[in-house]
Chains A and B, each alone.
Chain A
Amino acid sequence: MLHFELVTPEKLIRSEEVHMVVVPGTEGDFGVLEGHAPFMSTIRDGALSIYRSAGAQPEIVPIQGGFAEVNAKGLTVLAEHAG
C-alpha cells in the first residue's frame, strides 16, 4: 500500500494507506503507486483521484496550488486548498 498525506497550511487533511493516487501535475497528470521512484512536481488546480484499492471507484478531492513529493515514505501533497 502507498502511504498518502494531504496537507494544507490550515491542517493535515489526510494521512492514510491507499492503493493509488492520481495527481494533477503542472506538466500532466501522474499516478503514484507503491514503490514509485523519488519524484517532485508542482501541481495545477485540479482534482486528486484517490483509489483505495485496485479497481475501486476513485475518491475525488479538488485541490489548488502547491506541489507533490514522492519519497521512500510515500506521497505527500502540499496544497493551498483542498476539499
Chain B
Amino acid sequence: MASLKALKLRIGSVKSTQKITKAMKMVAAAKLRRAQEAAQNGRPYAERLEAVMASLASRVGGVGASPLLAGTGKDQVQLLVVATSERGLAGAFNSNIVRAARRKAEELIAQGKTVKFYLVGKKGRVLKRFYPNAILADQEMGHIKTVSFEDARVVADDLVARFTRGEFDVAHLFFSKFVSALVQEPTGRQLIPVPLATDRAPKSGADAVVEYEPSEEDILADLLPRNIAVQIFRALQENAASEQGSRMNAMDNATRNAGDMINRLSIQYNRTRQAAITTELVEIISGAEAL
C-alpha cells in the first residue's frame, strides 16, 4: 500500500494538473467564440462568390474553359491538401483529419494513382511517417494568430502555380468542418478542378440581360483562383473554430477525470490514515494491558 506521504503528493500533482486543464478549457471557450464569429462573418462572401461562379460557369460552358475549371484531362497525380492545427491537446481533432486524408490516400493508391501531400499546419506532419516521399510542401502557420485572407491566398497562389506547372492533376482539401462546439466533422472535398453545382445556378433566361465587363470568360478566369483562396480561407476558419471546440471538450473531460481521480485518491488517503491510527491504538492498548 502506498504511504501517506506518497498519496498526498499524488493528490497535489493531480490538483495542479486539473488547474491547468481547467484554465485551458476556459481559454478555448473564449477563443471558440471569436473563431466562430469569424467563420460566420466570412459566410456572405463565400455564398455570393459561389452563386456568381455557378451562374458564370453554366453560361461559359466547358469548351476552352480554364483548366482550373475543366481539369487537365487526367487524374493520375492526386494532391491532398491537409489542413491541421499548430498545437496538440485538442482531443482527436488532428488525428481525425489525418485519418480522413489517409483513408482517401489509400483508396487512391489502390486505384493506381500517384498521391502527393500538401501540409498546412504543423500537426499534419505525422503523414511524413506514412508517406515519406510524397510530401510536396509543408506550410507552417505557427506565426499566425487569427487566419487572415492573406494567409489563405499565399497557400492558394502556391497551389495554383504548382497546378499550372503540372505538378498535380486533381487537388482535394481536408479539414474539420465545424458543426457545433461538440461536433466537428473531418471533411474532404475537391478543390481543383473547381467543382460547381451548375444545376443550382439560376436559369440563364432569367438574367440573360446581364452585361459583363470584361467578358464572361475573363471574369471567370479572374474568379477561379480567387475561389480557391476563399475555399482555403473557409477551411482554415472552420478548422480554427473546430480546433477550439475540440480542445474545449478534451479539456472539459480532462478536468472531470482529474476531479474523479482526486476523489478516489482522497478516499484512499483517508482509509490509509485511519488504518495507521487504528494500528497505533491497538499497539498502545495491548501494550497497556500487558503491564
Contacts and interface: CB of A to CB of B under 8 A. Distances in A.
A25 B226 contact: no
B233 interface: yes
Nearest to B55: A40
Interface in B4-47: 38, 41-42, 44-46
Main secondary structure on chain A at its contact with chain B? strand
Given A40-B52, A67-B219, A78-B48, A9 B230 contact: yes
Contact of B45 (A8, A37, A41): A8
A37 B213 CA distance: 13
Interface string B51-73: 01000000000000000000000
B209 A40 contact: no
A13 B212 CA distance: 25
Given A40-B52, A67-B219, A80-B226, A10 B210 contact: no
Contact of A12 (B41, B52, B153, B207): B41
B77 to A, nearest CB: 29
A49 interface: no
Interface in A2-43: 7-12, 25-27, 37-42
A40 B219 contact: yes
Contacts, number: 72
Contact of A10 (B148, B213, B219): B148
A59 interface: no
Interface residues of A, number: 24
Contacts of B207: 38, 71
Interface string B166-194: 00000000000000000000000000000
9 tightest A-B contacts by CB?
A11-B41, A38-B210, A41-B213, A9-B149, A7-B45, A9-B45, A39-B211, A12-B44, A42-B222
Interface of A: 7-12, 25-27, 37-42, 65-67, 69, 71, 76, 78, 80-81
